[in-house]
Structure 1
Amino acid sequence: METWTYQRNGAIEGPVTAEQLKSLYDAGEITLQTLIRSSSAGGGWRLYGEVARLAPSRIPRAVKRLWPFFVFGAPLVGGLIDAFLIRSTGNEFVESNISWLSHVPTALNILAVALWLLLISIEVQKKDQQHKVAGMAVWLIAAPLYLTFSWWTTVLVSSLVNAPFGFRVPECQADITKAQVKDTFERTAARLGAAGASAIALTDEHQEWGAGRIRMCTGKLATTNGRTYSVRYEIEDHGNRLFLRRMHGFNITMLVN
């Protein structure tokens, strides 16, 4: 069986098998510039990177080993979270915290990109000293492409989960809808002569009509000034737009009586 010796810190070490030599490279113990010699090579020293059957792939292990998680896992989880938020009804936690929960699918995609780039940069810095700048440049260019892909994959997952059940647009009583109606009221309270008033609860929600990506709803909005307002609100799906502050493009417009 062919064995190898290698030079490290001025000493000759080995013999080791080809697989052990590759493991040493993967662990950062040797580099592409390490001198190695095969037992069948007649005593000639060669650079590790010059031996074709030993030379590593330019694709980092973080890509080769973890690509299913980053390509499919993160978008799948993000899409399921978005689908849950659209369909959630009667969950006080979701209704009260939708302002930050709606960022979760976006944050998950960005976190996946950051983690993948971190793992890649560690490998490039450790191993390929001659090409580390070029290597990092390639992956920095690839990052926005991956982010775009993962974003639309997340959108696709959410749509595939929601569309068959008629949830392209949230229901009138959905937690995300109620939260946005209350938020809309509080932002316009001064113009309604209710400056300083906050929305407490939206009740008696009913759909007047719905067509395509629009629902028209009515309800009763109780506020902290002791009044209950009759509200008529429209939910319109503006589509899943890239890099909006929320995963979905739902827009609430409201009339208050």
Structure 2
Amino acid sequence: MELIRLKVNSQYRPCVDEAPYFSWVITSDEKNVMQTSYHITVKNMDEVMWDSGMVESDKSIFVEYSRKPLQSLSDYNWTVEVTVNNGEKAAASSSFETGFMKKEWTAEWVKSPFPMKKVKPGTGGQNPAEYFRKEFDARDGVKRARVYATCHGAYQLSVNGIRPDDREFAPEFTVYSKYLCYQTYDVTPFLREGGNVIGMLVGDGWYDSANFKPRSRKFKAEHSVLFQIKIDYEDGTSEMVVSDDAVKVSESPVFRSVCR
């Protein structure tokens, strides 16, 4: 018997910004194996953040964390031990990290200076995509670097010209007048000592698509970006790079950008 598919908030080793919930799956060569109890521990390095104790339950999804508040921008390891109806036990471990809590966002929204067109559904006349770019320095001995980013529109992110993943429609579709998702990227391998550049290519996406506009909008349509880079060094220090008035905005070769 073993435990597989250990997930936090329905994802493998995610970055979360709220109290997590846990899930796992039991696999066994025996028939009619059922969970009778579980025991979860969550640790930040050597500090035990939560010890559920042995809980008599067959629950293995949406098990909520319910102890000390988690710290932002921190790594956590969690272990679950399960007992089944034949007395056999199995344990497995995984990890997750936390993103920014609201009060720790110090970045500023940077808005495009280029006016947006009033477009109609159909082809032609859509707004071009724009480049948002900021230069920054990093010291030698980078241990870890994370980018936390979002935009009004849809974006592709790069650091020193390298994309950390292949997503095309971040920050995805939401009710923009109420909330906006942000994404977390591991850019540790891309940083170099000295000068670095973060870039975001931003288009309309669903945010300003004539084909998806709600009849009444309470949000502004200009392309804009928000990002923070947290750089941790081997010597234990860290620094933050944020979007601000040092971000440069320019037109891009992508002269039409719309979701149809």
TM-score range, shorter chain: under 0.3
Normalized against structure 1, the TM-score is what?
0.23
Higher radius of gyration, 1 or 2: 1
Normalized against structure 2, the TM-score is what?
0.22
Higher relative contact order (CA 8 A, sep 6+): 2
Higher strand share: 2
Higher helix share: 1
